[in-house]
Amino acid sequence: MFLFNVYYTHRLLKPQASTPSHLDNPLECRPKTPTRKQRNEVYNGLKTSLELISSVFKMSPVPGVEGIITTVKGIMDIVEGAKHNKQACYDICIKINKLIDVVHAELKDHDDTDADKGTVTRVGSLESSLVDVSRKLSDLAQENAFRRAINRVADADLIQDLNKEVDECINTFMLGAQLSTGMDVKYLRDEAVRTRIAEGLDTGGWRSDRRCLPGTRTRYINRIWEWVRSSEGPALCWLNGVAGSGKSCISHELAATLHAKRRPYSSFFFRHDDEPLASSAVRLLAYGLSFVSGLRELVIQAMEQSTDSRVNLTMEEQFAALVVAPLQEFASLCPTATVVLVIDGVDECPDNIRPSFLAAIRSGVPLLPSAVKIFLASRPRGDVRGCLSALPSLEVTLAVGAGRDDGDIERFLQRELERISKAAGLEKTWPASQIEKDANALASKAGGLFQWSRLLSSLLSNRVRPQEVVSRILAVETPSTLEVNLDVLYTEALKTALPTAADDRDLGALYRQVVGTVVAAKQPLTVAALCTLLKATDEGAKGAIQALLQNLGCVLILHRIRGGAVLVRIGHPSFHDYVTSRERCPSIWFIDPDKASAELGARCFALMAKALRRDICRLGGPSATNKDVPSATVYQFIDFGLRYACNHAFTHIAGDTGNIRRLEAFLAEKLLEWLEAMSLMRLLDAAIELLRHALADLNQQSISTSSIEIVQDGYSVCRPLREPFE
CA separation, residue 291 to residues 179, 185, 285, 297 (Å): 5, 12, 11, 10
Could you say which DSSP state residue 178 is in? B
* Mean pLDDT for all residues in the chain: 78
**Per-residue pLDDT for 375 more than 90?**
yes
The region of weakest confidence among 120-134, 476-490, 664-678 is 120-134
Residue 97, pLDDT score: 62
**Per-residue pLDDT for 41 more than 80?**
no
Residue 307, pLDDT score: 65
**Per-residue pLDDT for 16 more than 60?**
no
Residue 580, pLDDT score: 95
Residue 461: how many CA atoms within 13 Å on its side-chain side? 16
Residue 411, pLDDT score: 92
How does residue 311 score in pLDDT terms, banded at 50, 70 and 90? low
Cβ atoms 322, 183 nearer than 8 A: no
Please state, in angstroms and rounded to a whole number, the distance separating the CA atoms of residues 447 and 453: 10
Please state, in angstroms and rounded to a whole number, the distance separating the CA atoms of residues 692 and 689: 5
Residue 545, pLDDT score: 94
Please give the residue that has the higher pLDDT: either 32 or 625: 625
Residue 335, pLDDT score: 82
Q: What's the average model confidence in pLDDT over 359-384?
A: 94
Please give the residue that has the higher pLDDT: either 437 or 198: 437
The burial class, CB within 10 Å (0-12 / 13-18 / 19+), for 468 is exposed
Residue 163, pLDDT score: 59
**Per-residue pLDDT for 244 more than 80?**
yes
**Per-residue pLDDT for 303 more than 90?**
no
Please state, in angstroms and rounded to a whole number, the distance separating the CA atoms of residues 533 and 525: 10
CA separation, residue 273 to residues 199, 525, 585, 632, 699 (Å): 19, 10, 19, 26, 28
What DSSP string runs through 432-499?
HHHHHHHHHHHHHHHTT-HHHHHHHHHHHTT-S-HHHHHHHHHHSPPPSSHHHHHHHHHHHHHHHHST
Residue 693, pLDDT score: 75
Residue 51, pLDDT score: 57
pLDDT per position as a tens digit, 67-115? 666 666 666 665 555 544 555 555 666 666 666 665 665 555 444 444 5
Percent of the chain having pLDDT more than 70?
69
- Please, what's the largest Cα pairwise distance for the chain? 96
Please report, for the chain, how many H helices and E strands are present, in that order: 33, 8
Q: What's the average model confidence in pLDDT over 678-695?
A: 83
Residue 50, pLDDT score: 55
**Spatial CB neighbours of 358, under 8 Å, sequence gap ≥ 6:** 346, 383, 384, 387
How does residue 610 score in pLDDT terms, banded at 50, 70 and 90? very high
- Burial letters for 49-78: b for 16+ Cβ neighbours within 10 Å, e otherwise? bbeebeebbeebebebbbbbbbbbbbbbeb
pLDDT per position as a tens digit, 630-675? 888 888 899 999 999 999 998 898 767 888 888 888 888 888 899 8
Could you say which DSSP state residue 320 is in? I
Q: What's the average model confidence in pLDDT over 297-318?
A: 80
Please give the residue that has the higher pLDDT: either 573 or 27: 573
pLDDT per position as a tens digit, 434-478? 999 999 999 888 888 888 898 899 888 877 788 988 988 888 876
Q: What's the average model confidence in pLDDT over 236-248?
A: 92
Q: What's the average model confidence in pLDDT over 521-536?
A: 93
**Per-residue pLDDT for 33 more than 50?**
yes
The region of weakest confidence among 135-139, 409-413, 552-556 is 135-139
The region of weakest confidence among 131-145, 272-286, 682-696 is 131-145
Residue 15, pLDDT score: 36
How does residue 194 score in pLDDT terms, banded at 50, 70 and 90? confident
Phi, psi torsion values for 560, nearest 5 degrees: -80, 130
Please state, in angstroms and rounded to a whole number, the distance separating the CA atoms of residues 130 and 136: 10
How does residue 2 score in pLDDT terms, banded at 50, 70 and 90? very low
